[in-house]
Amino acid sequence: MTAFNGNTTKTGSAALATPVLSLGRRYWRDRLMLGLLASSTILVLVPLFIVIAYVVVQGIGALNWDFFTQELGSPTRAHTGQPTGLVHTIIGTLVVDSMALIIAVPLGIGAGVMLAEYPDHRLNPLLRLLNDTLNGMPAILKGMLAFALIVKPMGTFSGLAGAVALTFVMLPIIARATESALDIIPWSIREAGLALGLPRWRVILSTIIPAAKVGLVTGILIAFARAAGEAAPLLFTSFGNNYLPSRWTGWLFGPVDTLPQRLYSLAISPYKQWHEMGWAAGIVLLVMVILLFITARVTVRRA
Amino acid sequence: MHNQESTAAGRHAETAPAATDIRMETRKLSVFYGDTAGVNDVSLSMYNKKITALIGPSGCGKTTFLRSLNRMHDLTRGARVTGQALLDGSDIYAPKVDPVTVRRRVGMVFQKPTPFPTMSIYDNVVAGLKLVGIRNRAVLDEVAEKALRGAALWDEVKDRLKAPGGGISGGQQQRLSIARALAVEPEVLLMDEPTSSLDPQSTIRIEELMSELKKQVTIVIVTHNMQQASRISDYTAFFYVGDLVEFNPTAKMFTNPNQKRTEEYITGRFG
């Protein structure tokens, strides 16, 4: 109580007096900062919602049964009101994206583990350099790389080439995300495993990676979302196709249609009906990515 | 080398045990971080089925020394060990020795409990066996129960072995860490301030546990707590700025130390 009467030492009373005076100011300053943060969040979210809303408004009219069951065919189909749709594009996207994921996930996680767990390894600086280069490389160049590696030798555009191009998009993102997810696992967990007489790889595989699971899945999702939206790497790899392939091997070894690349071709076409279908393709792509995010999140939380 | 008779000599802690009772021994062991030595030319014997306490002020090198006994420094960037550390007479730093084999025989318990976060209590205990390929359920069950009983944790967790290892109290987590270390049946158990993050009751449980454990294993413990060192250990080594100042039976160390610095530290005049 003496403190409030000012009977303590000089520093004591000053230290007590200051907060009493500034509490009100602190309160308002706190409110102000919170307000600023809230408004910047809104500022970021508003354009996002505008984009989504605009895409939906423009494209919703083209979303009908035919859209999900018919192949595109020639422009006359849309002109003359014959059934036309993007079923081959939706399946093609699923095929190419999953193939890319199957290649990129083990490679990306492997690279990330190497970056995070073996910082002293001789090859580590080289791997980091390559990864950063790949990360900064324009997407169209990744398409050219896949063109040179797969399309040229095979002599044909293919779903496989598209998948490889998208792998180049996913790889550096997954590797980086894996590295940071592993970095935040306390060193003590590794030591505890090693102290049990477990080999290093076993410790990483059975204790570190499970502990970093949420971070890994997030990284894979971000990489997938990024790759799923890329049109440039697919332009001269999977190329595009107006029709369903005649045999299932066509999905892998023949030209394959994908949503972002189809969206682009529809958008630059001179046909009004195709423009509307392009918007609808945008909706499908958005829904696909959002659905994937929700499923992955729920699965990770459950496990 | 698993000398059963050796315990007889140990009853008279004042008399120096025979050389055959030595389980681990360092010879002129130094640990460098870059150019600075964290541990300097330490030669120390750790006797079979005895508790050796390492004491000394913070930064004196006792933890560094302890970690050199199961090659934990191998993974520390810039750390370098010179000299020898003998386990049953053979140097664990010899060129062809696999650190994994060393750590299998020399287990370690850390300052903070370190249950594997994604594993159940059961899986934590048997991790050291399961992850090297032992899948026989009956064997694992038996080992788990034995280790948990050995760590005085069985009665508290036997009904929730499938619960996450991180979901029990700090004291229980530390006993879980001990159980996990015991499950692989190490010959030597290194303990780095195992009770410093625990409340007094958990501390007592773990101290009691150590007296039980030394019937089977050789224990080396780092502790900041003088009472703990005098209560539980058979031998005490006093470290100061990387040097081993004095090593003696605990009773002598705490009543009539040879070195003045030891006495000053033990009586709380510095450190």
Spatial contact of B65 and B25, defined as CB atoms under 8 Å apart: no
Spatial contact of A192 and B192, defined as CB atoms under 8 Å apart: no
**In the prediction, which pLDDT does B132 show?**
82
B38 interface with A at CB cutoff 8 Å: no
How far is A265 from chain B, CA to nearest CA, in Å? 48
The domain B2-266 is classified under which CATH number: 3.40.50.2300, 3.30.230.10, 1.10.3720.10, 3.40.50.300? Answer: 3.40.50.300
Angstrom distance (rounded) from CA A245 to CA A260: 19
**In the prediction, which pLDDT does B9 show?**
39
Looking at the fold, whether A150 and A296 belong to one and the same domain comes out as yes
Report which secondary-structure segment, H or E, holds B26.
Answer: strand B22-33
Looking at the fold, whether A75 and A172 belong to one and the same domain comes out as yes
**In the prediction, which pLDDT does B35 show?**
87
Given A62, A80, A106, the domain boundary residue is: A62
Over residues B191-210, mean pLDDT: 89
Name the 3-class secondary structure at A242. coil
Contacts of B100 in chain A (CB under 8 A): 197-199
Looking at the fold, whether A221 and A91 belong to one and the same domain comes out as yes
Contacts of A119 in chain B (CB under 8 A): 77
- Render pLDDT for A136-171 as a digit per residue (tens, 0 to 9): 999 999 999 999 999 999 999 999 999 999 999 999
Q: Dihedral angle at the C-alpha atoms of A212, A218, A222, A225, nearest 10 degrees?
A: 130
A2 interface with B at CB cutoff 8 Å: no
Segment among A127-136, B6-15, B168-177, B233-242 with least mean pLDDT: B6-15
Looking at the fold, whether A191 and A108 belong to one and the same domain comes out as yes
A52 interface with B at CB cutoff 8 Å: no
What are the beta bridge partners of residue B81?
A: B31
Angstrom distance (rounded) from CA A262 to CA A265: 5
Contacts of B101 in chain A (CB under 8 A): 197
Looking at the fold, whether A40 and A113 belong to one and the same domain comes out as no
Over residues B56-68, mean pLDDT: 93
Q: How many CB pairs under 8 A join A and B?
A: 70
Contacts of A184 in chain B (CB under 8 A): none
Given A39, A62, A85, the domain boundary residue is: A62
Domain-embedded: residue A117: yes
B189: nearest CA partner in chain A: A195
Looking at the fold, whether A185 and A244 belong to one and the same domain comes out as yes
User: Quick check: A182 pLDDT over 60?
Assistant: yes
B49 interface with A at CB cutoff 8 Å: no
Pair of tokens at residue B156: 């508290």
A184 interface with B at CB cutoff 8 Å: no
Looking at the fold, whether A163 and A33 belong to one and the same domain comes out as no
What are the beta bridge partners of residue B108?
A: B190
Q: Which of residues 119-158 of B touch A (CB under 8 A)?
A: 119, 127-128, 131-132
B112 interface with A at CB cutoff 8 Å: yes
User: Quick check: A10 pLDDT over 70?
Assistant: no
Domain containing residue A47 = 6-62
Closest CA to B132 of A118, A208, A201, A109: A201
Contacts of A190 in chain B (CB under 8 A): 75
Q: Provide the percentage of residues in chain A whose pLDDT is more than 70.
A: 93
Domain-embedded: residue A1: no
Q: Which residue of B108, B114, B131 is in closest CB contact with A189?
A: B114
A192 interface with B at CB cutoff 8 Å: yes
Domain-embedded: residue A113: yes
**In the prediction, which pLDDT does A25 show?**
87
Contacts of B105 in chain A (CB under 8 A): 197
Q: Dihedral angle at the C-alpha atoms of B155, B158, B161, B167, nearest 10 degrees?
A: -30
**In the prediction, which pLDDT does B205 show?**
86
Report which secondary-structure segment, H or E, holds B193.
Answer: none
Cα A77–Cα A82–Cα A88 angle in degrees, nearest 5? 70
Check A194 against B104: CB less than 8 A apart.
no
Give the sign of the dihedral formed by CA B264, CA B265, CA B266, CA B268. positive
Taking the CA atoms of chain B, what radius of gyration do you get in angstroms?
Answer: 18
Report which secondary-structure segment, H or E, holds B100.
Answer: helix B99-105
Looking at the fold, whether A196 and A230 belong to one and the same domain comes out as yes
Spatial contact of B265 and B240, defined as CB atoms under 8 Å apart: yes
Angstrom distance (rounded) from CA B232 to CA B212: 11
**In the prediction, which pLDDT does A299 show?**
84
Domain-embedded: residue A260: yes
User: Quick check: A113 pLDDT over 50?
Assistant: yes
**In the prediction, which pLDDT does A3 show?**
43
Task: Report the number of distinct structural domains present in chain A.
Answer: 2
Domain-embedded: residue A244: yes
Q: Which of residues 241-260 of B touch A (CB under 8 A)?
A: none
Instruction: Tell me how far the alpha carbon of residue A137 is from its chain's centroid.
Output: 16
Looking at the fold, whether A33 and A140 belong to one and the same domain comes out as no
**pLDDT: is B198 or A274 the higher one?**
A274
How far is B30 from chain A, CA to nearest CA, in Å? 21
Q: Which residue of B77, B107, B131 is in closest CB contact with A195?
A: B107
Q: What is the mean pLDDT of chain A?
A: 91
Over residues A201-209, mean pLDDT: 94
Check B118 against A119: CB less than 8 A apart.
no
Q: Provide the percentage of residues in chain A whose pLDDT is more than 90.
A: 84
CA atoms within 13 A of residue B55's CA, in its CB half-sphere? 32
**pLDDT: is B265 or A300 the higher one?**
B265
CATH code where residue A163 lies: 1.10.3720.10
Contacts of B127 in chain A (CB under 8 A): 193, 196, 198, 206-207
Angstrom distance (rounded) from CA A100 to CA A161: 10
B136 sits in the region (left: phi over 0; alpha: psi -120 to 50; else beta) called beta
- Render pLDDT for A26-53 as a digit per residue (tens, 0 to 9): 899 999 999 999 999 999 999 999 999 9
**In the prediction, which pLDDT does A18 show?**
56
pLDDT band at residue B269 using 50, 70 and 90 as cut-offs: confident
Over residues B136-148, mean pLDDT: 94
Contacts of A192 in chain B (CB under 8 A): 110, 114, 116, 177, 180
Looking at the fold, whether A156 and A286 belong to one and the same domain comes out as yes
How far is A194 from chain B, CA to nearest CA, in Å? 7
Given A20, A40, A62, the domain boundary residue is: A62
Check B116 against A202: CB less than 8 A apart.
no
**In the prediction, which pLDDT does A303 show?**
66
Looking at the fold, whether A271 and A151 belong to one and the same domain comes out as yes
Angstrom distance (rounded) from CA B75 to CA A199: 12
**CA distances (Å), A139 to each of A151, A156, A170, A225, A255, in order?**
17, 20, 11, 14, 19
Contacts of B164 in chain A (CB under 8 A): none
**In the prediction, which pLDDT does B238 show?**
95
Looking at the fold, whether A41 and A84 belong to one and the same domain comes out as no
Segment among A101-110, A270-279, B87-96, B125-134 with least mean pLDDT: B125-134
